[in-house]
Amino acid sequence: MNGQKIPGKVMLIGIAGVVIFMLILATYFGVDAGDRGVVLRFGEVNRVVDPGPHFKIPLAEEVVYMSVRVQKTTTKTEAASRDLQVVQTTMVLNYNLEPSKAGSMYSNIGLNYNERVIDPAVKESFKAAAARYTAEELISKRETLKTEVRNYLRDRLHVFGVVVVELSITDFEFSQEFNKAIESKQTAEQNALRAKRDLERIKVEAEQKIASARAEAEALRLQRQVISPELIQLRQIEAQIKAIEKWDGKLPNVTGGTVPFIQVEKER
């Protein structure tokens, strides 16, 4: 009789030991680096724990893990510019949850904070910023636009415990009519620039010709100043000397006339 009771007690002790062991295991949990553990007691947030080993009350408490690492979300959105042009774009946001606010984020928003908070904030921020620019300014001032959208996002998401790390804006997409208008304007600007360059070239060439003509006129003026009576007399003497050098010593026969001779003034 006693022999039959002993195995039964052993079995009960074994079962109790297994249950106790499982309860002990159920009290232990660990949080990985880059996460925070939100401890819920009967479904309500009780505390937030950092990475490492922790204990909880079995059956009464459970743990929800929330990442505080940098995450990325891609949002497609559209907005109207200041001149009422519809623009579409894709925005890429890098963000992370503020560790100290992980509990309030879960309590107020839950785990689907990306769909409920972040994506709507990205869309609203882009609409608010785009309305301040014309369609052309959205392209030419993209960096300024990105800064404004990022500032809007920081203000909107800060209250939820979301930290904006970086924001990127991809190429804008406009209507086909607007794209054609932009192409026509660019073509006109290129033609105007080409005409301006041609005009400047013609102007430079004309100025060069004027300068050359002025130089020639100045040279002629200087030449006229150099031709003096003394120079004319010198040229006459040089001509007479050449005539003497060519003379063969014979006087020409001249009837009723005087003998021609070269008149050279004596040096005084």
Segments making up each domain of the chain, as ranges: 2-67, 71-174, 175-218
3-state DSSP percent of the chain in helix, strand and coil, to 5: 55, 20, 25
Residue 66 CA to residue 39 CA, distance in Å, equals 11
Specify whether the CB–CB gap between 232 and 239 falls below 8 A. Answer: no
Question: Looking at residue 251, what is its pLDDT?
Answer: 57
Question: Looking at residue 211, what is its pLDDT?
Answer: 79
Question: Looking at residue 202, what is its pLDDT?
Answer: 81
Residue 188 CA to residue 139 CA, distance in Å, equals 19
Specify whether the CB–CB gap between 97 and 161 falls below 8 A. Answer: yes
Question: Looking at residue 36, what is its pLDDT?
Answer: 96
Question: Looking at residue 101, what is its pLDDT?
Answer: 93
Question: Looking at residue 215, what is its pLDDT?
Answer: 77
Query: Which residue ranges of the chain lie beneath pLDDT 50?
Result: 1-3, 259, 261-262, 264, 266-268
Question: Looking at residue 156, what is its pLDDT?
Answer: 93
Question: Looking at residue 17, what is its pLDDT?
Answer: 75
Residue 30 CA to residue 117 CA, distance in Å, equals 28
Question: Looking at residue 268, what is its pLDDT?
Answer: 43
- In the three-class reduction of DSSP (H, G, I as helix; E, B as strand; rest coil), residue 37 is classed as strand
Alpha carbon 220 to its chain's center: 60
Question: Looking at residue 1, what is its pLDDT?
Answer: 46
Domain 71-174: which CATH number of 3.40.50.880, 3.30.300.130, 3.30.479.30, 3.40.50.300:
3.30.479.30
